[in-house]
Amino acid sequence: MNPDTNRKILCVGVNYRPHIEEMGREVPDYPVVFVRFPGSLVGNGEPLIRPRVSEQYDFEGELAVVIGKRARHVAREDAFDYVAGYCCFMDGSVRDWQRHTGQFTAGKNFEQSGAIGSMVPVDEVPDPSALRLTTRVNGEVMQEGAVADLVFDIPALLEYCSTFTELRPGDVIATGTPGGVGAARKPPVWLREGDLVEVEISGLGVLANPILDESGGSRA
């Protein structure tokens, strides 16, 4: 699934309890939603670019939901009627820029800092809550989690997001990341040129992307 300039990309932060705890945050009362720009994403196999202005480029493996039809004021019991499918998502985060203010926008939108995989149709995923997510860096498992552990599940996210904006076919909601991110490790683990990040979700395949430094190249 390649990035599309017409697609709306909504991301949900701090939506797994282990990640909330490791980042020292409180369980939110409402979904923490921020926006990614299409230019911040690449497809499977394309290089991710570590920005030259930061040494704190982090990995976040996620499940993403792709919208299949126009959705506004969706009730949670009808939410899956609006889903086209699911894909792997790598919400690359530039942590120091993310923490400049209370808003996540700057740290989540560097060019080519995140990735999105191919969509698997909803009919092939009868129960997304049964999916398991694993993130690996250079073959080492860094994150593991069950989609069932989301604080705000997929129906809750569609209900919430469709209330403040109309969701359209091809729009994406990235649902959040489990514990194990690089920023929370001691010492922290930051992505470097030459690393390979893999996000694998059971039944959805593997999203794999090499890391390049910004000075080392970019997408044509």
Q: How far apart are CA 180 and CA 177, in angstroms?
A: 9
Q: Is 38 helix (H, G, I), strand (E, B) or coil?
A: helix
Which DSSP symbol is given to 167? B
Q: How far apart are CA 190 and CA 195, in angstroms?
A: 10
Domains of the chain: 9-216 (3.90.850.10)
Question: Is the pTM of the predicted complex or chain greater than 0.85?
Answer: yes
Least confident range of 5-19, 135-149, 206-220: 206-220
Q: How far apart are CA 53 and CA 48, in angstroms?
A: 15
Tokens 């129960």, residue?
A: 127
pLDDT in tens, 102-150: 889 999 999 999 999 999 999 999 999 999 999 999 999 999 999 999 9
**Residue 215: half-sphere exposure toward Cβ, Cα within 13 Å:** 4
